[in-house]
A and B are shown apart, each in its own frame.
Chain A
């Protein structure tokens, strides 16, 4: 039986995995991938699946690999940046292969909407010699998840299921099959030399790995015959369009007013590239327009193919400037790209037109910039402000400047004005290591005149912070670590982590205490303090910054997005002097100023009280008090 449901692409993938009989699931949250594991975890008990959030993507992949070595059907989930963390096991894994099945779900983020990079996982698959499937809709994501498990099992290779934001986070009506309870009859690990990678094994396996790429390329070419995931259509002109993923839909919508004019090559099996089918397609075409977000991956495949076979075909894409080389695509971007290609191609196909908006956009008044910022009542604001104050004291009393190294999470938003408390941000865990690196340079170049402070979140601490702490302590880095412990993985949707005491499926778990970890790593001064009192936070920050050698403060608070606010504050207009410190210093989105010059606190106030603690006139009071 099958049924139709509204599903987000990520949910469709989770249902596909469960339909395919996934037994073990591991992942680390990261937008736009997180809902895959969340959905599996929420059904885990019902279907008998083991599901977990791992501490990072490398650990998640290795856990899934262990399960697959035992013959299990396994999935691991992450975002594109997470694949970098997992790349160490991934590159070796492709040589070894798997038993059972292993699907690696990686979500790319063109734009990007919430990522540090716009990297393209299709290229990573190519680099690692691992097949990549690239669905264009939630329905296709569901269907291709089934295919990914099947391919992985048949070919004994991990398979990357790659999505982009608009597939991961798009909802659609999706037809899915019923899921039966999933059997746990896993064969078990069988000892064999094939599981231990050594240079000799690598040398033996590499030719087989290369051969697999050729076999898969042929296999993917055959998929065009039944139009299941790949399709070829012949148009009336000698102009072709090649596309994959969500770009295929943009291209089809862009040319819908010229039905049947273009020949279309659509592939959802992007790596290994289906060369035979692509070659068939290129014959009879004089001009090829390649529509793809992120890297010019397919464009390069077609260019190589045309060169290899001496085909006289013009290829338009990113490399000759017809399409943007970065940023997210949509129908309008693709219309411009196709038009630019058509102009250069000197063809008689007319250009495509945009739909004019109802309103002359030049007449729209210029608009405010509304950048993301820390939530009203967020504990991070108190901690950042406390460090700002403590650093100010250090500067005025001892002439020592402070550098604040940030990290990946909600608290990256501490870079926003007026806090300006993120001087560096590179990747997960890097706040601590970069602060350590900076501390070793100042010893020689700056004569100890700068203090290094690293901010890190609780989930990130477990992800890649601990190794950085160990290295910093062992190498005597003079840094202060501020752990912003809001008791959740807030940025990606509040997944639990080892500091919480609850697993992905809601079972109780042993809590790993961050302060105890810091102590056992040898950090000289470790304090734990509640983040709701500004003065206490300033004192703790000051003490830690004045400590010589590695020091740390764990600031414990709660995430306002999942905890109920306690009361609301209001401005007592009789006492308010209009100094606007509450606005100019804190950047709380619940406070704004009106034309009279007085601040107003909006309903979104969650009662953290930071503004009241900051106000020199005691003019900010709890609503009930006034």
Chain B
């Protein structure tokens, strides 16, 4: 849903768009990456390495897994809420989300890291963490269009009974980054990502 939301809002704001999504087998709890390209200079939907303006990492390890796409001077919005694997696959590393978030905070100059899952859960549903993250990106001025375009699309996409809770998540997420808006944003402290 997240890539389509961004793309539709961007189109409404007058841009050309292209997205690449992963659907099917790769979705079953696997590692999934979606690409969104916005602007007049859109070629294919896959972003070349080192050219992404923004990485929205719905999970710390997945954000780190895709760092090769980030351009110099690009931004990262990362959810500190780790999704722990139930079993360690062969050759897999022990997952230490705190260490990973520490690495991201130390190495990405423009980063917003927060527990967006908890933010969404506090506002009514943990499932809206993706909405929270996109709203935060808009609120921090990291998207080339205003947050109103996003909400207009969300309002159409979300069934009426979930609209209020999503609005709450949306507003709280924007509020949470209001102090970081504009350039020179500061790294936000990571609070324990795991929700018990």
A binds B: yes
CB contact between A359 and one of B43, B46, B107 (< 8 Å): that residue? B107
Question: In B27-69, which residues have CB < 8 Å from any A CB?
Answer: 27-31, 42-46, 48-51, 61-62, 64-65, 67-69
What is the minimal beta-carbon distance from B62 to any residue of chain A, in angstroms? 8
CB-based contact B67/A6 at 8 Å: no
Question: In A166-189, which residues have CB < 8 Å from any B CB?
Answer: 166, 169-173
Alpha-carbon separation in the docked complex, A44 to B155 (Å): 26
Alpha-carbon separation in the docked complex, A465 to B69 (Å): 44
Residues of B contacting A591 with CB < 8 Å?
86
CB-based contact A358/B46 at 8 Å: no
What is the minimal beta-carbon distance from A409 to any residue of chain B, in angstroms? 10
Which chain A residue has the least Cβ–Cβ distance from B42? A172
Residues of A contacting B48 with CB < 8 Å?
253, 330-332, 335, 354-355
Question: In A99-125, which residues have CB < 8 Å from any B CB?
Answer: 113-114
Count residues of B near A (Cβ-Cβ below 8 Å): 66
Q: Is A252's CB within 8 Å of the partner chain B?
A: yes
Most chain A beta-carbon contacts within 10 A, residue among B45, B50, B86, B196:
B86
Q: Is B72's CB within 8 Å of the partner chain A?
A: yes
Prevailing SS type, chain B contact patch: loop
Q: Is A363's CB within 8 Å of the partner chain B?
A: yes
CB-based contact A363/B72 at 8 Å: no
Residues of B contacting A369 with CB < 8 Å?
85, 89-92
CB-based contact B71/A114 at 8 Å: no
Alpha-carbon separation in the docked complex, A457 to B83 (Å): 29
CB-based contact B87/A417 at 8 Å: yes
Residues of B contacting A358 with CB < 8 Å?
50, 67, 70-74, 108
What is the minimal beta-carbon distance from A7 to any residue of chain B, in angstroms? 10
Residues of A contacting B28 with CB < 8 Å?
372-375, 410, 413
Q: Is B8's CB within 8 Å of the partner chain A?
A: yes
Could you mark each residue 578-598 of chain A with 1 if its beta carbon is under 8 Å from any beta carbon of chain B, else 0? 000001101111111010000
Residues of A contacting B72 with CB < 8 Å?
356, 358
Residues of A contacting B121 with CB < 8 Å?
603
Known: A166-B46, A365-B99, A373-B30. A602 touches B70 (CB 8 A): no
Q: Is A447's CB within 8 Å of the partner chain B?
A: no
CB-based contact A169/B29 at 8 Å: no
What is the minimal beta-carbon distance from A91 to any residue of chain B, in angstroms? 28
CB-based contact B7/A171 at 8 Å: yes
CB-based contact B67/A173 at 8 Å: no
Supply 7 A–B pairs (Cβ within 8 Å), ascending by A.
Answer: A137-B18, A170-B45, A171-B17, A331-B46, A354-B48, A357-B71, A602-B83
Chain B residues in contact with chain A, CB under 8 A? 3-4, 7-8, 11, 16-31, 42-46, 48-51, 61-62, 64-65, 67-74, 83-96, 99-100, 103, 107-108, 121, 126, 194-196
Chain A residues in contact with chain B, CB under 8 A? 4, 6, 31-32, 113-114, 136-137, 166, 169-173, 246, 249-250, 252-253, 256, 330-332, 335, 354-359, 361, 363-375, 410, 412-413, 416-418, 491-493, 583-584, 586-592, 594, 600, 602-603
